[in-house]
Structure 1
Amino acid sequence: MSAVPEDTMPDTTAAAESTRMYREVRESAAAIARQLEANRGVIGELAARLRRERPSLVATGARGSSDNAATFAKYLVETRLGVATTSAAPSVQSVYAARTALDGALFLAISQSGKSPDLVAQASAAREAGARVVAMVNVVESPLAAAADVVVPLHAGPELSVAATKSYLCSLSALLHLVAEWTGDTRLRDALAQVPDALEAGWHNDWSALVDGLAEARNLFVVGRGFGLSAAQEVALKFKETCGLHAEAFSAAEVQHGPMTLVERGFPVLFFAQHDDSYEGTMAVAGRFRERDARVWVAAPDGGELPFAATGDPACAPLLAVHRCYGAINALALRRGRDPDAPPHLRKVTETR
């Protein structure tokens, strides 16, 4: 693991530290620690009910970064609980006014603001269709929270930068908390308890090579598999939003089916990996990109070109990896002459209908 003093790192200069994005990312560890303590009761009660009344299906409703968290929910619920999990399209209700059969399902709505009309309509329709609606939301006094049966507060605190960071990380920790209690998995529970300290420790790893390598880039592939796919999706979105860099996320399985043909010498590719059954396959794909002379970085726990801290369960890896990558993205945005707090043409709350 490569660690250097914080005051020598390119992405912790006075300019980088002055952004809201930087400050909010650095608040994430404390926010998650606060969340885990504050949500013991609501998560415990919800998990006990889900054990008694096992849902037939989990459907997720979300937009933007929250939808990337929903990808994480799919892999977490399906691998740890064996319950089929699908992303439901809000436009089915908000545009087409259609109704879906969700009797006996768990509908999981994830949002920072809880204000998007299409997500509120979707949650309301799911409740009317017989689903138990759980809202994981940062603003608890919001229309989405009012439409839910159970509210799980994210406890991220105010998030003012347009680029969502700590609310995404708090969404992942809330999902991990729910599944750990639902399954009674002590390993996952213990690993999650280590996350706040691991975030602080991992922040000091040197990712300057990524910032330097992408300073002039026009395109980027971000690749992950399993739990890591959510990380790839979220990071690709942030590169677009804050850096003006055309970044596309792919599964390590899907990137070989067509997208690889675009890769020429020096094409940048960022991989996210965790030490589970997907690791060897993901590393093999990274090797194939290197054979094509692509510029490859691998973010992996305590290893690879871009290390981050590890805990006792690989399901926590995306949270730790994305946290460290946010710092690099903040630095890259400034390096490219952009304000990461105020991306052009974007607003903090997108009220999609």
Structure 2
Amino acid sequence: MRAEDTRMFAEAAEAPAVVAAQLRDNAGIVATAAARLRDHVPSAALICGRGSSDNAGVFARYLIESGTGVLTSPMPLAVSSVYGRTPRIPGGVCLAISQSGKSPDLVAAASAAKAGGAFVIALVNVEGSPLSQVADLTIPLRAGPELSVAATKSFIASLIAVAHLVAEWTQDDALRAGLAALPDQLEAAWRQDWSAALPVLKAATNLYVVGRGGGFGVAREAALKLKETCGLHAEAFSTAEVRHGPMALVRSGFPVLMLAQSDVTRDDAEDLATDFAARGARVFLSGRGGDPRVTALPSTPGHPALEPILLIQSFYGLAARLSVARGFDPDRPPYLNKVTETV
């Protein structure tokens, strides 16, 4: 099997076209949602999601809080679906993110948030799904069918929908321009060669994936993909958190993948890469690298808040190739299904 012949690879390659179509076709609905948020400034925001959608929610939290100042928190789904409690969020907003819109606990959480006073916005790939029926407003992801169990283009579509909403909510012209440039930039990111990491990761059993700010959500997504498609025990940390207890595990040869965007977190990432390298770790850092002991992975520049989207696109090509190199089928991870209906 070649990575290029897998559905994961083919679907990830569709992301630029998906993004272009989504930005075009969602202009009206996103403008409506953004106007509502400006006219009724939320008291707080809740984010609901599982798996890759939960990782998209981490990206959403950083973008919303840094762009609007609205306190944003992930919603523990079991509080409503298992413990039967309704969150009190009068005047708030709930963003429920899902590819299928079918998971019972996600639908229950969105329903509970609505009952607690929140305006519910569903970001979902399957229009007419149970989640869409619960929501006050649906922003379609428009990723099209995604047949590989490993989410790729639907994850990127989720990040775009969040960024589009925040750009219009805040009326940020720089972010709008960054979004308009993304389809071409995603094409360039897909062509970036991250094969320098393949030999080390092929032989690995454990590794850290590190990011910060908007990049932390994609670091979590990368760690998830390495677990499910490559059989690797990958753990995601922020550049701040990993300096505490997790640093004790880093020894000679320990692999570290660092996904760093070119914003105010960049210098910290480069300093940490040097610290890892000083311990003998095999460090791979997106973008430029000043330390000769650190392997630089080429990255595509863009709006700093959107660069994490470009990084995960480059990563997906690496993940598909690594999965095949390690003897896995990335489209059919063991014990996993496309839709996981948790309660």
CA apart distance, 1:302: 10
Q: Is the 8 A contact 1:301 1:309 kept in 2?
A: no
SS of 2:287's equivalent? strand
Contact 1:28 1:170 in 2 (8 A): yes
Which of 41, 44, 48 is equivalent to 1:61?
A: 48
Deviation (angstroms), 1:300: 2.8
- Please name the residue that 1:285 is paired with: 272
Shift of 1:190: 0.3
Residues 1:306 and 2:297 aligned together: yes
What is the identity, as a one-letter code, of the residue corresponding to 2:321? A
**1:349 corresponds to which letter in structure 2?**
V
Gaps of 5+ in 1: 1-13
Deviations 1:105-153 (A, max 9, x none): 0000000000000000111111111100000000012000100000000
Cα distance between partner residues in 1 of 2:133 and 2:227? 32
Deviations 1:280-324 (A, max 9, x none): 11111111001101000001379971122112x211111100011
Tell me if 1:342 matches 2:332. Answer: yes
Q: Does 1:324 align with 2:314?
A: yes
C-alpha distance in 1, partners of 2:191/2:199?
17
Q: Which residue of 1 aligns with 2:80?
A: 93
CA contact (8 A) 1:140 1:153 kept: yes
Match of 2:162 among 171, 175, 200: 175
Q: 1:347 to 1:301 in 2, by over 3 A?
A: farther
Matched residue SS, 1:152: strand
Equivalent positions of 1:237-248 (< 5 A) are 237-248=224-235
Q: Say if 1:224 and 1:250, in contact at 8 Å, map to a contact too.
A: yes
- Tell me how far apart the structure 1 counterparts of residues 262 and 73 of structure 2 sit (CA, whole Å): 25
Distance 1:331 1:268 in 2: 17
Q: 2:131 matched to which residue of 1?
A: 144
* 1:130 and 2:114 matched: no
Aligned to 2:202: 215
Return the alpha-carbon distance in structure 2 between the equivalents of residues 318 and 189 of structure 1: 16
Q: d(CA) in 1 for partners of 2:197 and 2:102?
A: 35
Correspondence for 1:70: 57
SS at match of 1:108: strand
Secondary structure of the residue aligned to 1:249 is strand
SS across alignment from 1:298: strand
Task: Name the SS of the counterpart of 1:346 in structure 2.
Answer: coil
Gaps of 5+ in 2: none
How many residue pairs are counted as aligned between the two chains?
A: 339
AA partner of residue 344 (structure 1): P
- 1:220 alignment partner, SS class: strand
Aligned residue for 1:305, secondary structure, equals: strand
In angstroms, what is the RMSD of aligned CA positions? Answer: 1.2
Paired letter, 1:281: D
- The whole-number CA distance in structure 2 between the counterparts of 1:15 and 1:278 is 36
1:39 to 26, 37, 40: 26
Q: Is the 8 A contact 1:47 1:181 kept in 2?
A: yes
Structure 2 counterpart SS, 1:308 = coil
Distance 2:288 2:11 in 1: 23
Residue type of the alignment partner of 1:327: G
Structure 2 counterpart of 1:217, which letter?
Answer: A
- Contact (CA 8 Å) 1:113, 1:142: kept in 2 or not? yes
The answer to whether residue 177 in structure 2 is matched with residue 184 in structure 1 is no
* Residue identity in the other structure for 2:297: L
Where 1:236 maps in the other structure, the secondary structure is helix
Deviation at 1:213, TM superposition (A): 1.7
Distance 1:301 1:86, change over 3 A: farther
Per the alignment, residue 9 of structure 1 pairs with: none
Residue 202 of structure 1: how far off its partner (Å): 1.9
Who is 1:112 aligned against?
Answer: 99
Query: In the TM superposition, what is the alpha-carbon distance from 1:211 to its structure 2 partner?
Result: 1.5
* Segments ≥4 residues shifted beyond 3 Å: 301-304
**Correspondence for 1:333:** 323
Query: How many Å apart are 1:201 and its aligned residue?
Result: 1.3
- Residue in 2 aligned with 1:198? 185
1-structure distance, mates of 2:61, 2:143: 22
Return the alpha-carbon distance in structure 2 between the equivalents of residues 196 and 228 of structure 1: 19
Whether contact under 8 Å (2:287, 2:297) holds in the other structure is yes
Alignment partner of 1:236 is 2:223: yes
* Paired residues of 1:32 and 1:173 also in contact (CA < 8 A): yes
Kept in 2, the 8 Å contact 1:302–1:309? The answer is no
Contact 2:256 2:283 in 1 (8 A): yes
